[in-house]
Chain A
Amino acid sequence: MPMVNLIIDGKKVQAEKDTPLLKVARSYGADIPTLCHHDILEPYGACRLCVVEVVRGKRSRIVTSCNYPAQEGIEVKTKTDRVVQTRRMVLEWLLGRCSEVPLIQDLARQYGITESRFGKGKETCILCGMCVRVCNEVVGAHALTFSSRGADRTVSVPFDSEPEACIGCGSCAFVCPTGHIAVEDHSGRKVLHHESRLGPYKPIATPFMQAVPNKPRIDPETCIHFKTGGCKVCATVCEPRAIDHSMKESVEEVDVGAIIVSTGFQLFDCSRMKAFGHGVLPNVVSSLEFENLCHASGPTGGKVLMENGETPKSVAILHCVGSRDTHYNEWCSRVCCMYSLKYAHLIHEKTGAQVYQLYIDMRCPGKGYEQFYRRLMKEGVIFIRGKGAEVTRVAETPEEKGKLVVKTEDTLLGMVRRIPVDMVVLAAGMEPGRDAKDLGRILSISCGDTGFYTEKHPKLGPVSTATDGIFLAGACQGPKDIPDTVAQGGAAAMNVLALIDNGVVEIEPITAWIDETKCSGCKTCFAVCPYKALSYDAEKKTSVVNEALCKGCGSCVATCPSGASEQRGFRDSQIFAELEGALLTPIGAGG
């Protein structure tokens, strides 16, 4: 586009021909208010706030700068009395229509208007049309429209009924300047404990503050472009042009010499224990959900709140949910006592609520842990030695009405107790990941009976596995906390570095070999070798073992019809010798 010369507020400037004056003036520092303008939308000229005075030749006119094109030789004045008067009129009208909308009140105040002679309307929609335009132009769902004309003009949905076309993206709520359109929960909940945040997720966002890499990513499930083919606003506004919607998942093959498995754990699903009502009763949350609630980037910005948005006055924390339980997981999950104490402390700090801690044993090994436990006792946490048996909403006394009642046997007092509280936190245990077994098959490492990966030796080889070159680190090997995981990570890394540093790879000494004089070249052994370590020597017409690939399983040895294949250390003659010796030994004396 060719450049044109124009004057803005007395200054000579240049701009691309036909650029809206609003953009040009703002780029030179002019302060022009708008209500219906958005960078991603086509200009509409609805609010009339962006008006400026334009002198062309001998004529001077008031125009909306958002859609007036820059032309050669015009003069633009953004702050003349005429302009200011026009804006004041617009704002007084708007204030008369929407007298209680803070945005309008603020703008009006800036232009010296605190009251409107046109009344005190309670309307919240300013008819800017941004919701309609974003739904039509950007999203492409066409679920919103203007209807009626003049004083009856309103934003509505086709036929005033729930629009099928709406994809629930929330863009209308996002662009609405007054909050007239809002995203709310059907059942009136103010805080959703079981999800990260209220309303639809932003399709493009950095997953959480500490994500690595710390960059936004697009969720194809919720991205509007993948639903309607439209939008791509993110790609439009991204200056370095870093966004590419056409990227596809790709499978990459990487050749490595060692693998560290640190696939973590999965949290026990509290809804399996029906007695606690997780997922059914309000304000019953799992430990991870509570962690999310307390987090600064969580749904409430870190405030501990109940579903109705209020602060709880009493909270019960139930230990060992799914752990130390023959019906679910027998093991102790190691971290729950300590994080439960942490929550008790956080609740006390953030809300001053009364905390009841229902435990079987308090497991506080580690530096400073016991001292922390004692501190909590001093802070007024009530420790009850008894596993939580039930959480119910059925009140038996007036104090229990409207509360969650936690039923437990207090084993120190020797009596069954009912404790009414506002909120219940379930200290859920750690379980092996859902696909741990499948991954184990692929890597040929085994899971123990608990489902966590089996280490080479429980004491002396905590990060190695039976398979050379594959190491473990973290909770996939067993429940553990962060310091232990970090230690294991370091240990596994060192093991790998040792392998690399060695410069040579030690191979099994118990490999197989083929006696050329006996081999008939039948190639039966090829079929049974899991490592493709056997190949055919066309000259000699016999099989040959690749000793670097042979792992010494002996399958070819047992298969060979001629007895040509033998295994070092496990030759037939050696095993027969063992047999002989074994059968000579009296029962109970050997073996």
Chain B
Amino acid sequence: MANQTFEPRIIGFLCRWCTYTGADLAGTSRIQYPPNVIPIRVMCSGRVDPTFVIKALVEGADGVLIGGCHPGDCHYSVGNYRCWGRFNLLLKLLDQFGIERDRVRLEWISASEGDRYAQVVGEITETVRKLGPLNWKEKVIAKEAAA
């Protein structure tokens, strides 16, 4: 049982109309991909508050994936643009916290792109695996409590 490979824990905030449905399609198409992304369904990527991402990382996630409709194709017309704007600001916030930017990813995946969803999951899993566990609770919260 020694030297078990680190399995990253990634939370995926997926928009119900596009990415979540695309993930569904990956499943019905029986595409094989890593199980490390846990999907949380939102109606639109525009619902994703940057605090969700922070909360996820703080509570033990090693990475976060946000999935929305392609720009121009948002079911609610411009929700994904809201998400995009917030995401860019979030990245700056992460820099200040010292969290690697590669741990979070915003991706546009449509309902018919099942194979793309699988590919993105594979990519982010490997990227976060290489970065190693975030361990926010140990590294930051415990330290601060001790200090």
- Chain A residues packing against B (C-beta within 8 Å): 440-441, 444, 446, 448-449, 454, 466-467, 510, 528, 530-531, 551-555, 557-559, 567, 570, 572, 575-576, 578-580, 582-583, 585, 587-588, 590-591
On chain A, the residues within 8 Å of B113 by CB distance are 449
- Report how far A582 CA is from B55 CA in the complex, Å: 12
On chain B, the residues within 8 Å of A588 by CB distance are 35-36
**Cβ-defined contact, A441 with B73, below 8 A:** yes
Q: Does B94 contact A (CB under 8 A)?
A: no
- Report how far A580 CA is from B61 CA in the complex, Å: 10
**Cβ-defined contact, A575 with B112, below 8 A:** no
**Cβ-defined contact, B82 with A510, below 8 A:** no
**Cβ-defined contact, A558 with B60, below 8 A:** no
Known contacts A441-B73, A454-B112, A591-B35: A553-B40 contact under CB 8 Å:
no
**Cβ-defined contact, B110 with A446, below 8 A:** yes
CB distance from A587 to the nearest CB of B (A): 5
- Report how far A558 CA is from B13 CA in the complex, Å: 13
User: Which of B72, B77, B82 is the one whose CB lies under 8 Å from A558?
Assistant: B82
On chain A, the residues within 8 Å of B46 by CB distance are 528, 553-555, 558
CB distance from A46 to the nearest CB of B (A): 67
Closest B residue by C-beta to A569: B43
- Report how far A580 CA is from B82 CA in the complex, Å: 25
**Cβ-defined contact, B40 with A444, below 8 A:** no
Closest B residue by C-beta to A527: B82
**Cβ-defined contact, B59 with A580, below 8 A:** yes
Most buried by A among B42, B72, B86: B42
Most buried by B among A467, A510, A572: A572
Q: Does B47 contact A (CB under 8 A)?
A: yes
**Cβ-defined contact, A579 with B72, below 8 A:** no
Chain B, residues 31-58, CB within 8 Å of chain A (1/0): the string is: 0000111111011101111011001100
Q: Does B7 contact A (CB under 8 A)?
A: yes
**Cβ-defined contact, B43 with A510, below 8 A:** yes
**Cβ-defined contact, B76 with A551, below 8 A:** yes
Q: Does B17 contact A (CB under 8 A)?
A: yes
CB distance from A575 to the nearest CB of B (A): 6
- Report how far A466 CA is from B40 CA in the complex, Å: 20
On chain B, the residues within 8 Å of A557 by CB distance are 47, 49
**Cβ-defined contact, A575 with B40, below 8 A:** yes
- Report how far A553 CA is from B46 CA in the complex, Å: 7
Closest B residue by C-beta to A584: B60
CB distance from B111 to the nearest CB of A (A): 7
User: Which of B17, B40, B55, B78 is the one whose CB lies under 8 Å from A530?
Assistant: B78
**Cβ-defined contact, A579 with B11, below 8 A:** yes
Inter-chain residue pair count (beta carbon < 8 A): 102
**Cβ-defined contact, A558 with B38, below 8 A:** no
Chain B, residues 1-36, CB within 8 Å of chain A (1/0): the string is: 000000101010000010000000000000000011
What would 11 A/B residue contacts be, using CB atoms closer than 8 Å?
A: A454-B112, A551-B76, A554-B79, A555-B47, A570-B47, A576-B52, A583-B56, A585-B38, A587-B7, A587-B35, A588-B36
Closest A residue by C-beta to B39: A591
Closest A residue by C-beta to B76: A553
Closest B residue by C-beta to A554: B47
**Cβ-defined contact, A555 with B49, below 8 A:** no
CB distance from B81 to the nearest CB of A (A): 9
**Cβ-defined contact, B43 with A579, below 8 A:** no
User: Which of B39, B44, B111 is the one whose CB lies under 8 Å from A555?
Assistant: B44
Most buried by B among A444, A553, A557: A553
- Report how far A466 CA is from B73 CA in the complex, Å: 12
User: Which of A441, A448, A580, A583 is the one whose CB lies under 8 Å from B72?
Assistant: A441
**Cβ-defined contact, B17 with A466, below 8 A:** yes
Closest A residue by C-beta to B35: A588
On chain B, the residues within 8 Å of A567 by CB distance are 43, 47
7 A-B pairs closest in CB distance: A554-B47, A553-B76, A588-B35, A555-B46, A553-B44, A591-B38, A582-B38
User: Which of A440, A510, A555, A582 is the one whose CB lies under 8 Å from B79?
Assistant: A555
- Report how far A554 CA is from B82 CA in the complex, Å: 11
CB distance from A80 to the nearest CB of B (A): 83
User: Which of B11, B48, B52, B112 is the one whose CB lies under 8 Å from A583?
Assistant: B11
- Report how far A558 CA is from B43 CA in the complex, Å: 12
CB distance from A545 to the nearest CB of B (A): 14
On chain B, the residues within 8 Å of A576 by CB distance are 52, 55
**Cβ-defined contact, A579 with B7, below 8 A:** no
- Report how far A552 CA is from B77 CA in the complex, Å: 12
Closest B residue by C-beta to A560: B49
Q: Does B75 contact A (CB under 8 A)?
A: yes
**Cβ-defined contact, A555 with B82, below 8 A:** yes
On chain A, the residues within 8 Å of B82 by CB distance are 528, 555, 558-559
On chain A, the residues within 8 Å of B72 by CB distance are 441
Closest A residue by C-beta to B110: A446
Closest A residue by C-beta to B47: A554
Closest A residue by C-beta to B12: A591
Most buried by B among A441, A530, A558: A558
On chain B, the residues within 8 Å of A467 by CB distance are 75
Known contacts A449-B112, A583-B9, A588-B35: A578-B79 contact under CB 8 Å:
no
